[in-house]
Structure 1
Amino acid sequence: MAGLRTRDYEQLLDFVVAVLENPDPEGGWQLVTEQLLTTLGCDSATYSDLDPAEGTGRVEGWAPDRLSPYVNGLVQRRVRQHHPLIGYVAAGRSAPVAVADLCPDLDRAPWYREACRDFGITRQLGVPVGGRPGRVRMVLLGRDGEFRDGDVTLAVRLQPLLTAFAGHVHELRRLRGPAAPAEHGLTPRELTVLGLMAEGLTAEGIARRLAISRHTVNRHAEKIYRKLGTNNRVSTVLLARQAGLVR
Structure 2
Amino acid sequence: MSDRTPARPSPTLTHWEQRTEVPLFAASLLFLLGYAVRVLGPHDADPWHDISLALVAATWLLFVVDYAVRIRLSGLGHRFVRTHWLDTLVLLLPLLRPLRLVKVYSAIQQRRDEPRLSLYARVMSYAGLTALLLGFSAALAVYHQEHDAPGASIRTFGDAVWWACATLTTVGYGDAVPVTPWGRVVAAFLMACGLALLGAVTGSFSSWLIQVFRREDEKRPPASG
TM normalised by structure 1 equals 0.27
Larger radius of gyration: 2
Between Structure 1 and Structure 2, the one with more helix by share is 2
State the TM-score, normalized to the length of structure 2: 0.29
* RCO comparison, higher one (Cα < 8 Å, 6+): 1
- Structure ranking higher in strand proportion: 1
